[in-house]
Structure 1
Amino acid sequence: MNVRQWSRDLGLGVRFAFTGGREGWIRAVLTAVGVGLGVAVLLLTTAIPNALAVRHEREEARLDYSFSAEVPRKADDTLLIVETDTTFRDKDVRGRLVEPEGPDAPRPPGVDVYPAQGEMVVSPALKRLLASGGSALLRERLPYRIVGTIGESGLIGSQELAYYAGGSGLAAYLDGDGATRLTAFGNPKPTHEATDPVLVLLILVMIVVLLMPVAVFIAAAVRFGGERRDRRLAALRLIGSDGRMTRRVAAGEAMAGALLGLVAGTGFFLIGRQVAGSVEVLGMSAWPSYLNPSPLLAALVALAVPAAAVLVTLFALRGVVIEPLGVVRTARPARRRLWWRLLLPVGGLAMLYPMIGQGRTNGDFNQYLVTGGVLLLLVGVTALLPWLVETVVARLGSGGVAWQLAVRRLQLSSGTAARMVNGIAVAVAGAIALQMLFAGVDGDYTESTGQDLRRAQLQVTVPEGAPLDATAEKFADTKGVTKVTALWEGYLGDASWESENGPTRTSELTVGDCAALREVAKLPSCKDGDMFVLDGSDYDGDTPVLNKPGTKLYLEEPGGSRDESVWTIPAGVREVPSAKDPRNLKRGGFALTTGALPKSLAASVRGEVYLSVDQSVPDADDHVRNTAFHVDPMASLMTWSATKQDRKYASIRSGLLIGSACVLLLIGASLLVSQLEQLRDRRKLLSSLVAFGTRRRTLGLSVLWQTAIPIALGLLLAMAVGLTLGAILLRMTDTAIRVDWPSVLAMTGFGAAVVVLVTLLSLPPLIRLMRPDGLRTE
């Protein structure tokens, strides 16, 4: 067959799709909507690499760390900057105090003019938040006048909360006290970290798992209205076309719907692209300009979707005989064969087998074998499910009227029922495998912080100079605070810290009231004015040597901005056992009550305040943050957690949750469209049954059974394949196989919930179709 004949027949099918009357238009629209949703997700996927790259570039461009070992001298092109990040409720706020030291001071991306003291420029999202009614606590912490907004180039997301506020006197906070002097923003020598093979494996599997259901959905969408189309094509046989020409015309009609779907998908993507600029998911957001698909990948989507429509249609028609007087479809079809369907998952396992036990120490995983193996296993679900549904429903026995109607319908068209749930089954199988993999390697990327949340939940670092007792009282009077452990700390040396070689031996100094000191030492008795030396430290070996009455110790002055303070060890310093402090460390050095601290040293110790908070008090953490700001604007607050997770690993997991949500929405939409198309195709049958006296409740239950039986089989198959794939992936990472049953059951439950929701949404149109007037014909 020559290309000209193919082109003519395909073109005829395209014309039929748009000039075939109401039926043709309805089928084309259904196909366009289904394909369009899939195309939109594919375009979004092709845009994600660019979005991540732009996000990373903008984050790198605004880095405000000094990458030089020496602090630059003050000049016309230098800037002083202090990090003042904070959190409002569950949202992070990026904050900076800035003080340009000359007219040529570098400006961060997105900022045209530096704010003066008492002013700030903010991100659009922070401006909206501050203007809202529930942000009084945040406004108290940011008492600056808004004079401008940060441009898009200075933000990594449309919903990022960020500000630059004008400051003064920041030079006093140089040399380790939080301030940095810059001559330029960004990293002049960006470095690329070595890639973790297991993280690369997670990304590869995640991409395949998220895109495979989309491909299954698009393949199902191009077959919407297939039965009515085949009956219309019988007319072509009546006027002389042969079977092959009829199939090419049918493929052209499907291609028309796919092309219309490309247009619809582009529109859906552009709409979604704009919506993406106003939403935040799991703390992540993007500007619409980030979501630019790769031209090469977008072109691949544009070519692959129509081609897939043609191939799927030709494949679907291989078992259908279109004759001049009708379509031979109701004859008993040949029994589906199992052997070739098993080859797909077996081939997938064979591709993954060579990498079992590789782990992260034997180089990168072969991305082609990983992609191909996971793909074949998931495609195996779509191949095995029709056979499984056909085999099971053929053996289903008698029951009620609704059950018999459902079973008979499934026995006649088990392939259609399997196609409806293929997407759910593939998505659930992939999600189970990924959840097993994440659960298995989670311990490698999560470590204990050693922080005891029973002793404190917040830690506030207060710069030196804050009054000891007054600071502790302010935190004690803060709403929601139940316990305050205020410890002031410094470092002592046996020689001046400003000398050429510095001190040879050093010791730690801890200051607090008796209650606070009991958190770091086992005190037999304590009263204000007592002094102790701590024994049994985890790391201190110099204090026993230094602990001699009359020894002069020099207190380190942060920044070296003041004259060094000297403390002479008096007689009567008692030795007490060290105890684990709130950070789970046994500290060493000297522990002094506040009354024993010489006034000359009080201005040179910084505070570490450990707070226990009643979380039932609304906004308790924000009240603490406000108190910390009033104590010292440079105070920093850290929320304690029992564990700490690797940032890249956490980002991949967040991406999986976002992608899974999108895929579930897509699958739900596909099921609903497919269900509506099936109901529309059976309108006359339903009307006939109602006309003969069948109760609507019986018909509704039959539709429910027709959905429930295939989805139950699909979910069982998905669990089997997902557990197998998950076990293989865990062995590839050299991790012990452990089934995370709560996650497995949760993924299965989510899949079932989507089907139940779609069934409920299809009941109103089902009720409208169950009317005797549906028998009317023209």
Structure 2
Amino acid sequence: MNARQWGRDLGMGMKFAFTGGREGRVRVLLTAIGVGLGVALLLLTTAIPSAMAVRHDRDEARLDYTYGPKRPKAANTLVIADADTTYRGKDVRGRLVEPEGPRAPVAPGLSKYPAPGDMVVSPALRELLGSGAGKLLRERLPYRIVGTIGEPGLIGSQELSYYAGTKNLASRINGWQTARITRFGPQQNRPASHLDPVLILLVLVVFVVLLMPVAVFIATAVRFGGERRDRRLAALRLVGSDSRMTRRIAAGEALAGSLVGLLFGTVFFLLGRQLAGSVEIMGVSVFPSYLNPTPTLAALVTVTVPAAAVLVTLFALRGVVIEPLGVVRTAKPARRRLWWRLLLPLAGLAMLSPMIGQGRSSGSFNEYLVTGGVLLLLIGVTALLPWVVEAVVARLGRGGVAWQLAVRRLQLSSGSAARMVNGIAVAVAGAIAIQMLFAGVQGDYTKDTGQDTTRAQMQVNLSHGVGFLPAAAKFSATEGVRKASALGNTELGDRDWKHSPTTTAGLTVGDCASLREVARLDSCRDGDVFVARGGEADEDVAKLIRPGRTLHAETVDGNNDEPDVTWTVPGGLKRVQAVTGPTGMKDSGVLLTPAAVPDRLAATLGGAVFLSLDSSVPDAQEHVRNTAARVDPLANALVWSSTEQSAKFTSIRTGMFVGAICVLALIGASLLVSQLEQLRERRKLLSALVAFGTRRRTLSLSVLWQTAIPIALGLLLASTVGLTLGAVLLKMVGATVGVDWPSVLTMTGAGAVVVVTVTLLSLPPLLRLMRPDGLRTE
């Protein structure tokens, strides 16, 4: 058989698809929609690496390293300060700027800097500030909006960002939050950032788990309308076509649907690409221009999808005998064999088993074995599910009329029912495995902060020189604040900080109530001086803190260019016992009440206010942040948490959730199309049953049972395979094998919810099809 014969038969099949009457065109349309949805998500997936790279590059281009070298004022310098904040759980990137010359570097997305008292904002921030939802944030940003940040200065369409002009910012230079810079962009000679092997494994598994259901749906979509197509093929046998030619013509019909599906997918992708600019998922947003599929991957999708349509069709027809007088599919099909279906997951386990126990200490995991092993296990779900459905429904017995109609239909066409739920089963199996892996390793990327959230829920760090004691009074009067404790801190050394002291001790300043947060004080009044012992650095404190000794306070400037500030240890020190402070640290050191602090020493103090909040007050955190902005525009308000997680681990998990949402949306849409196609196939049967007096309620229930039984079996199989794969992955990273049952139930429930929703949406078309006039034909 030469290529010319293949091309002629495939071309004939494509022609029949478009000229075979209304039925053929409807089948092409349904196939194209199903394939198009899958292609759109594949194109979106191939565009994600590009989008993430653009986001990273945009973020790198606007970096302003405030901890860089100190520079003198010049015509090309800009003083910039970080003024980031948070509003109702969303980060707001803020910068205060003061250009010092005509050649000051201009931040990406800006043409010029705003004047003092003005600000330029991102489109999303402008929209928020102009709405009622942004009222509290508007109080925090007392600047006049004079412009908009351009796309090159933003990492996403929904990012909240602003640049505000200000005066006298140079006096606030401190080497970590405020600095004088001459350029934007990444720091030179910055060490490269690498993912450890476990995180690389997570990325690999996430991509396989998210893409596999898409491939399953595309394979399912090209088989829409299979039964009617096979009956049409019988007519070709009647006019002289042999069986092989007939199968190639059928593959041509599927090829036509897949090619139209490519066009639909491109349109869906372009529409989704445009829509992506107006949505935010899990805190991640992009501009439409970011979503450009890699040409190589896009070409691979373009070639693979039509080729898969042909191969799937030929594979599906391998056991179908198409004769001139009919198709031998209406008879009871031969029982499916189990042995070769078990080989797929077993082969997958065999590929993963060499890496069991490897962990992160033995180098990177073999990406080919990981990808192949996970793929084979998930493909095993699609191979095993038809056998499971057939084996179970063959044993189902008596019941009501609706139950019997559903069971008989499943016994005659269990393959179609299994195909419809294959995608959801694969998605659930993969989701369970990846959730188990995340749950098993998250302890390695989560650490205890030591913060006692029962004593305080927020901490506000104030700039050096800002009166933290008067600030505490303002916070105490803030709505939603139960208690405010203010402490000032600096370090004391045995010599000036320009020459790096060899021994240091901490110095803490606060009123008596606040000092009791860090030490046990039997008596206290303003003017007292204490030395706390029994905590960290106790030996250094015993060596340094001796009456009459002159110590040197750490200066504010990171380069130590400010005059040396000294402090002489007074006599009459009261020795007290250190206790664990709100931050979880138990430190030895000097404790001063306000009256005992000299003016020069006060200028070196960095203050922090610890706040206990009333959780019943709405937006209590936002009221605190507004007060912080009024007290000190550069104040840093932090919400306390008992633990914190690695940013890389969190970003991978966020990406997984974003992808899972997209895949679930595809699952729902594709299932709806598949369900509508199944109902269209059964239109005459439903009409005949109604004409014979079958109640519509009975038929509706039968359709629900036809969906519920395969879904229940699919979710059960998916849970088994997902738990197995999850256990193997946990063994590979050296983690304790445990089942995260809440995640398992959540993933299984999410799959069930999608199916129930699709079923409910298909009921109106079902009711329209259940009419006796559906028996009419031409």
TM (norm. structure 1) is 0.97
1:171 aligns with 170
Q: Distance in 1 between matches of 2:501 and 2:299?
A: 67
Q: Matches of 1:726 and 1:506 in 2, distance apart? A: 50
How far off its partner does 1:66 sit?
Answer: 5.3
Partner of 1:95: 94
Q: Deviation string for 1:226-248 (max 9, x for gaps)? A: 11111122222222222222111
Matched, 1:10 2:17: no
- Find the counterpart in structure 1 of residue 136 from structure 2: 137
Distance 1:117 1:650 in 2: 37
Give a deviation string over 1:354-385, Cα, whole Å, max 9, x none: 11111101111111110000000110111111
Alignment of 1:583-602 (within 5 A): 583-602=583-602
Which residue of the partner structure matches residue 665 of structure 2? 665
Equivalent-residue separation in structure 2 for 1:36 and 1:177 (angstroms): 51
Query: More deviation in 190-199 or 411-420?
Result: 190-199
Cross-structure match for 1:47: 47
Please tell me the residue identity of whatever aligns with 1:113: K
Aligned-partner Cα distance in 2 for 1:226–1:250: 9
Q: Judge which range, 169-178 or 276-285, deviates more.
A: 169-178
SS in 2 for 1:576: strand
Distance in 1 (CA, whole Å) between partners of 2:361 and 2:39 is 39
Cα distance in 2 between the residues matched to 1:689 and 1:227: 20
The aligned residue for residue 224 of structure 1 is 224
- Which residue pairs with 1:456 in the alignment? 456
Equivalent residue for 1:161? 160
Q: Does 1:544 align with 2:542?
A: yes
Q: Is the 8 A contact 1:436 1:738 kept in 2?
A: yes
| Secondary structure of residue in 2 paired with 1:541 | helix
1:503 shift after superposition: 4.2
* Pair 1:497–1:724, CA change in 2 (3 A): closer
Alpha-carbon distance between aligned partners in 2 of 1:304 and 1:546, rounded to the nearest angstrom: 74
Q: Deviations over 1:167-210 (max 9, x none)?
A: 22222222436211212111233542232111111111111111
- What corresponds to 1:525 in structure 2? 523
The answer as to 2:394 corresponding to 1:380 is no
CA contact (8 A) 1:494 1:553 kept: yes
| 1:636 counterpart = 2:636 | yes
Q: Secondary structure at the match of 1:690?
A: helix
CA distance in 2, matches of 1:563, 1:32: 75
Tell me, yes or no, if structure 1 residue 318 matches structure 2 residue 318: yes
Q: Deviations over 1:470-515 (max 9, x none)?
A: 21110100110001111112223344445xx354443222111111
What residue number does 1:422 align with?
A: 422
- Scaled by the length of structure 2, the TM-score of the pair is 0.97
Distance in 2 of aligned mates of 1:467 and 1:343: 72
Partner Cα separation in structure 1 for residue 468 and residue 712 of structure 2 = 66
SS of the aligned residue for 1:107 comes to: coil
CA distance in 2, matches of 1:468, 1:390: 74
Partner residue in 2 for 1:444: 444
Kindly indicate whether the alpha-carbon contact (under 8 Å) linking 2:78 and 2:99 is maintained by their aligned counterparts in 1: yes
Q: Describe the SS at the equivalent of 2:364.
A: coil
Partner amino acid, structure 2, of 1:740: D
Q: Given the alignment of the two structures, is residue 107 of structure 1 paired with residue 111 of structure 2, yes or no? A: no
How do 1:163-562 residues align onto structure 2 when only pairs under 5 Å count?
163-176=162-175, 178-187=177-186, 188-497=188-497, 501=499, 503-559=501-557
TM-superposed CA distance for 1:598, in Å, is 3.2
- Within 2, Cα distance between the matches of 1:56 and 1:504? 41
User: How many residue pairs align between the two structures?
Assistant: 775
1:177/1:463 contact within 8 Å kept: no
Alpha-carbon distance in 1 for matches of 2:383, 2:760: 28
Structure 1 CA distance, aligned partners of 2:756 and 2:57? 44
Q: Provide the C-alpha distance between the structure 2 equivalents of 1:259 and 1:145, rounded to a whole number of angstroms.
A: 54
Distance in 2, matches of 1:416 and 1:530, equals 84
Measure the CA separation in 1 of the matches of 2:495 and 2:680. Answer: 90
Name the SS of the counterpart of 2:183 in structure 1.
coil
1:119 maps to 2:81: no
2:60 paired residue number = 60
Could you tell me whether the CA contact under 8 Å between 1:172 and 1:561 is conserved in 2?
no
1-structure distance, mates of 2:335, 2:503: 86
CA apart distance, 1:466:
2.6
> Could you say if the C-alpha distance between residues 191 and 595 of structure 1 is closer, same or farther in structure 2, counting changes exceeding 3 Å?
closer
SS of the equivalent of 1:479 reads coil
User: Could you tell me whether the CA contact under 8 Å between 1:177 and 1:558 is conserved in 2?
Assistant: no
Asked whether the equivalents of residues 160 and 285 of structure 1 are also in contact (C-alpha less than 8 Å), the reply is yes
Q: Indicate conservation of the 8 Å contact 2:70/2:175, yes or no.
A: no
SS at match of 2:163: strand
Q: What letter is aligned with 1:153?
A: P
Which residue identity is paired with 1:514? C
Deviation at 1:739, TM superposition (A): 0.8
Structure 2 residue matching 1:176: 3-state secondary structure: coil
CA distance in 2, matches of 1:9, 1:649: 52
Q: String of CA shifts for 1:507-560, please: whole Å, max 9, x gaps.
A: 222111111111000111122222211111212433222333322333333136
The residue aligned with 2:728 is 728
Counterpart code for 2:168: G
Per the alignment, residue 717 of structure 1 pairs with: 717
Cα distance change on mapping 1:504 and 1:377 into 2, 3 Å? closer
Q: Secondary structure at the match of 1:451?
A: coil
Aligned to 1:618: 618
SS of equivalent to 2:735 = coil
Which deviates the most, 168-177 or 605-614? Answer: 168-177
1:328 CA drift (Å):
2.0
Return the letter of the residue paired with 2:522: P
After TM superposition, the structure 1 stretch with the greater mean CA deviation from structure 2, 156-165 or 324-333, is: 324-333
Contact 2:437 2:729 in 1 (8 A): yes
Partner of 1:150: 149
SS in 2 for 1:135: helix
2:568 maps to what in 1? 568
Greater shift after overlay, 42-51 or 555-564?
555-564
- State the partner residue of 1:80: 79
Q: CA RMSD in A?
A: 1.5
Cα distance between partner residues in 1 of 2:496 and 2:39: 69
Task: Quote the offset at 1:279 in angstroms.
Answer: 0.5
* Alignment-mate amino acid for residue 696 of structure 1: R
Residues in 2 aligned to 1:232 and 1:644: alpha-carbon distance in whole angstroms: 63
Counterpart amino acid of 1:456?
Answer: A
Partner of 1:738: 738
Q: In structure 1, list runs of 5 or more residues that go unmatched.
A: none
Q: How far off is 1:156 after superposition?
A: 0.8
Could you say which residue in structure 1 is the equivalent of 2:127? 128
**Alignment partners' CA distance in 1, 2:107 and 2:551:** 43
Counterparts of 2:484 and 2:333, CA distance in 1: 78
* Identity in percent: 69
The 3-state SS of whatever aligns with 1:492 is: strand
SS of equivalent to 2:189 = coil
Please state how far the C-alpha of 1:561 moved relative to its aligned partner.
Answer: 7.5
Contact 1:514–1:593 (CA<8 Å) still a contact in 2? yes
Alpha-carbon contact 1:432-1:719 (below 8 Å) kept: yes
CA distance in 2 between partners of 1:378 and 1:355 (Å) = 18
Corresponding residue SS for 1:542 = helix
Distance 1:305 1:19 in 2: 23
Query: Offset at 1:761?
Result: 1.1
In structure 2, the CA distance between the partners of 1:666 and 1:67, relative to structure 1 (3 Å rule), is: same
Q: Which amino acid aligns with 1:414?
A: S
Contact 2:505 2:537 in 1 (8 A): no
SS of match in other structure, 2:358: coil
CA distance in 1, matches of 2:104, 2:190: 22
Instruction: Give the partner amino acid of 1:396.
Output: L
Q: CA deviation at 1:89?
A: 1.2
Residues 665 and 550 (structure 1), Cα distance of their counterparts in 2 relative to 1, 3 Å cut: same
Which range moves more in the overlay, 682-691 or 546-555?
546-555
Read off the aligned partner of 1:324 and give its amino acid letter: P
Aligned equivalents of 1:143, 1:741: Cα separation in 2: 49
User: Per the alignment, do residues 89 and 628 of structure 1 end up closer, same or farther by CA in structure 2, a change over 3 Å counting?
Assistant: same
- Contact 2:66/2:177 (8 A) holds in 1: no
